[in-house]
Amino acid sequence: MQKNKVIVGHMLQSKEILLLKTFSLVLLSLLACYIEPARGLYQKPAFSIVNPGLDGYPSKWTASNVIRYLGTSVFTFYSNETSVDSTFFVNVTVQNVTALRGWGIGIIYDSGSLANGSVWLPSDHVFSGAENVGNKIIPFGPAVDNFNATHKILKYGVTYVMNNTWTFNGSGTLCQVQFKIVTPYSAESYLSWDLEWTDVYYWPSGSEKPLVEVAHFKYSSETEKEDLLFMWILVTSVVAVVVFASLVYFFGLRKKRKK
């Protein structure tokens, strides 16, 4: 009798634990339903360096008119199309920002392959609306300093005097930056960020460091066809090795089975 009571007691205890676990899971699910939408209300702003092509400024882009990787963060040029001292420019963009009042950037580049040409605000920059309602744009810089023995840093920023309440929300172009190709040799490097000089400033107060995306620059003495041929040879070689290894394994397995 005592044994039966103990068994029944354990069964009741197990049911209570099961009910408690079920209730906890339901509660966590309900909390997730409220927490996840709240997280989605805020997205951290991000800065990118984007390939805009000629974008209405053909005199500032003297590199090849064959634009590759348009709209990406890749800038690739070939010496048979683009000569040394040719120029190109980049869009510096922001995504997912709210109540933007000012911004600052620090872009690092390899001074052995690139030199900074000029910096300007395009007609559709993020604070063009502020100008339209009577606010005065105030730029800081640009300034170019040594970052280390092989790289330089471009520093630039913009805010405005708020005569009339206005802020920028969403995604858009902060500025455009021109670079000159100064190396006669093949070169690859990155346009990266110094977060000490890179900031988002908000209205009425506050600031934060944005997420950043680096860009890739390549100047090649090979032609595009040679690059594609090299890639085709590389891929074909890898496939051939995989097929050969598979055949060796297959025939070796058959020999083992025959034994």
Question: Please, what are the averages of pLDDT over each run of 10 residues along the chain (259 residues)?
Answer: 40 40 39 37 86 88 94 96 96 97 98 95 94 93 96 97 90 97 94 97 95 97 57 56 57 56
Which two structure tokens, joined as six digits, stand for 167? 């802020």
H helix or E strand, kind and range, residue 206: none
| Rg (the chain; Cα; Å) | 29
Cis amide leading into 184 (omega within 30): no
Q: Which residues contact 84 (CB under 8 A, 6 or more apart)?
A: 181, 182, 183, 184
What's residue 14's pLDDT? Answer: 41
Distances in Å between the Cα of 218 and the Cα atoms of 52, 99, 159, 187 are 16, 36, 33, 6
Pair 181, 111: CB distance under 8 Å: no
**Size of the chain, expressed as the number of residues it contains:** 259
Q: Which runs of consecutive H residues, i.e. helices, occur in the chain? A: 2-40, 128-132, 224-258
HSE, side-chain direction, 13 A CA sphere, residue 25:
6
Q: What is the pTM of this model?
A: 0.71
What's residue 230's pLDDT? Answer: 47
What's residue 196's pLDDT? Answer: 96
What's residue 15's pLDDT? Answer: 41
What's residue 32's pLDDT? Answer: 38
What's residue 242's pLDDT? Answer: 59
180: phi then psi, degrees, rounded to nearest 5 = -115, 135
DSSP annotation of 210 reads: P
What's residue 117's pLDDT? Answer: 87
- Distance, CA of 79 to CA of 226 (rounded, Å): 12
